[in-house]
Structure 1
Amino acid sequence: MTQAGSWSLQRTPEMEEALFKQWQAMLEDRIGLSLPVHRKVFLQTNLYARMREIGCASYREYLDKVRFGKAGMIEWLTLVDRLTVQETRFYRDPDAMGMVRRYVLDRPKALLETHPLAVWSVGCSSGEEAYSLAMVLNECVKELGIVNYFGVTGTDISKPALKKARQGRYPPGKLVTLDDELKEKYFTAHKKESLYQIRQEIKKRVCFARVNILELDLAPLGGMDIIYCQNVLIYFRKSRRKEILTQLAKKLEPGGLLVLGLGEIVDFNLPGLERIKNDKVLAFKRKL
């Protein structure tokens, strides 16, 4: 029997508590990822799957492997991609997208005609959110009958996810929340491959970059009109969430909009930001 065969017959081994704490500490220190005890099985499953692929015998051996050297850093990046992948789709949160739409339509028309909108999708994964925002902005601009050279920047830590985002090709399941009119307007169907390609009209408005959310102070982004950061903060400890939000707030233009996921932050008070009253969307506006 081959080694791969012998691996396939084994159950996922249990990780010692002390070793789990070491993995917890490294993940939080390097990328801010918080893994409480109830997510231990999640960690074990993902580590073990990767260990099987590369023939690593134990959690301890794999920990040492990703800790040191150039090869270790390459393997670390592969692991991070496994642990941070998000399931997403177009217009995942219609209420939040609706708030973005209202925010744009309520802005002074004269300002929109002279000021290109800058939008940031934080933790954009494979690009569905960033392209959705571009579609919303494009609809707003056409509704207002103006020209606005808006741009959307999507950032994520996962290189494979960003590669998919730049390609802009998606299976039908990612488009289930879109009506037929939007599908036809913004996508080209490739029936043989069962894929939908985002049209150039929207694709050219969106760019993608790799950014570690713990290093936002180093990100060359600022003066953003809209920052959209949903389903990202849930992976971080409460104290770390506030640090991230403080950095994001600094990147907003006066009057800019910050959209978060419901329940991702509570009792958050930051000078210069005011909560927008809405039962379905957690959002803040930077004071003028």
Structure 2
Amino acid sequence: MRSQYGIDLSKKRTLSECRLSAELEKEGITSLQQFMRRMELDKTKRLENMMLDKLTTNYTFFMRESKHFDYLRENILPTLRPDNTGPFYRVWSAGCSTGEECYTLSMLLHDYTRQGGFLPFLEITGTDASEAAVKGAKEAVYPMRELADIPPRWQEKYVKKLDGNRHFTLVPEILNCCKFRQMNLLGTVPGVAQFDLIFCRNVMIYFSEDARERLIGQLYRALKPGGYLFVGHTELLAWNSAQFQYICPAVYRK
């Protein structure tokens, strides 16, 4: 996990074994060492995907760390004009989990244009190492308990209730600009100097120090000059960040 994905579970060995124990028993595997050997021989990546799904934390919700969205709307979006932007406004949610962050951004940006704000054609890319998380993001069906996190005005415009109000999804306007794929953040980035905005929040807290440095370099390369990076509020970036300009807590600019 650490060498390939940068995720440091060395201090959580007992938790890792507990999370994997039921799956190991199903596979007839008696130890983590045996599991790792079998995973290396598994060309289908089935065991690797299972491990990622069990060991990574996909906790998220709509409007998480809402001050980020307030800052985006009040301070960044108003600076966009036809003469200083390209034909697209591209956003990357790096570590998108089950899609709530991407769809929050989509609702915010669509609502901004409905209120008369200028925005180029919107493209949102969500990536996650977990196959199950990406599948959930693509399906975009959520339990009703998550509806409370969405502002009432957005609920009226963008939410569609399902199966007797037990679940909900979002209208095509919100879904269609969001694309998802499975990706290792330490692998090939979706594009070089392609993104206007990157959200990589509450991801680096699971990474080893060397992996964090590699990831920061990946994010820097993926941003357009002048683009913004949002990280989690607990992720203070005390790194060689002369390359990034500090804007305010958890917000940086290339």
Q: Cα distance 1:113–1:270, how it changes in 2: closer, same or farther (>3 A)?
A: closer
**Matched letter for residue 93 of structure 2:** S
Q: Is the 8 Å Cα contact of residues 223 and 251 (structure 1) preserved in structure 2?
A: yes
Native 8 Å contact 1:231 1:264 kept in 2: yes
Q: 2:241 is paired with a residue of what secondary structure?
A: coil
The residue type paired with residue 61 of structure 1 is Q
Mapped to 2, the partners of 1:96 and 1:146 lie a distance apart of 19
| C-alpha spacing 1:103/1:115, structure 2 compared with 1 (3 Å) | farther
Q: Is the 8 A contact 1:89 1:175 kept in 2?
A: no
Match among 225, 230, 233 for residue 262 of structure 1: 233
Q: Does structure 1 conserve the Cα–Cα contact (< 8 Å) formed by 2:160 and 2:171?
A: yes
Matched, 1:188 2:156: no
Determine the C-alpha separation between the residues in 1 that align with 2:241 and 2:39: 37
| Identity value in percent | 27
**Residue number among 64, 68, 74 corresponding to 2:41 in the alignment:** 68
Counterpart residue number, 1:34 = 8
Contact 1:126 1:165 in 2 (8 A): yes
Q: Distance in 2 between matches of 1:193 and 1:77?
A: 32
Would you say the 8 A contact 2:186–2:218 is kept in 1?
no
Superposed displacement of residue 76, structure 1? 1.6
AA aligned to 1:199 is V
1:81 corresponds to 2:53: yes
1:95 Cα deviation from its structure 2 partner: 0.6
State how 1:186-265 maps to structure 2 within 5 Å: 186-192=158-164, 194-217=166-189, 219-220=190-191, 222-265=193-236
> Is the deviation greater in 197-206 or in 185-194?
185-194
Q: Which amino acid aligns with 2:55?
A: L
Query: What one-letter code is carried by the residue in structure 1 that aligns with 2:219?
Result: L
Count of residue correspondences: 254
Is the 2:58–2:97 Cα contact (8 Å) retained in structure 1? yes
Give a deviation string over 1:245-281, Cα, whole Å, max 9, x none. 111011111111100012324322333321013xxx4
Asked whether 1:46 is paired with 2:19, we answer yes
Question: Could you tell me how far 1:113 is from its partner in structure 2?
Answer: 7.4
Structure 1 distance, partners of 2:24, 2:42, is 18
2:253 corresponds in structure 1 to: 285
Measure, in 1, the Cα distance between the counterparts of 2:141 and 2:111.
21
Residues 82-121 of structure 1 mapped to structure 2, 5 A cutoff? 82-111=54-83, 115-121=87-93
Q: Which structure 1 residue ranges, 5 or more long, are not aligned?
A: 1-26
TM-aligned CA deviation for residue 196 of structure 1? 0.4
Q: Which runs of 4+ in 1 moved over 6 A?
A: none
Q: TM-score, normalised by structure 1?
A: 0.81
* 8 Å CA contact 1:119, 1:227 repeated in 2: yes
Give the root-mean-square deviation of aligned CA atoms: 2.0
| Bigger radius of gyration | 1
Note the residue ranges of structure 2 that are not aligned, 5 or more in a row: none
CA shift, 1:62, in A, is: 2.1
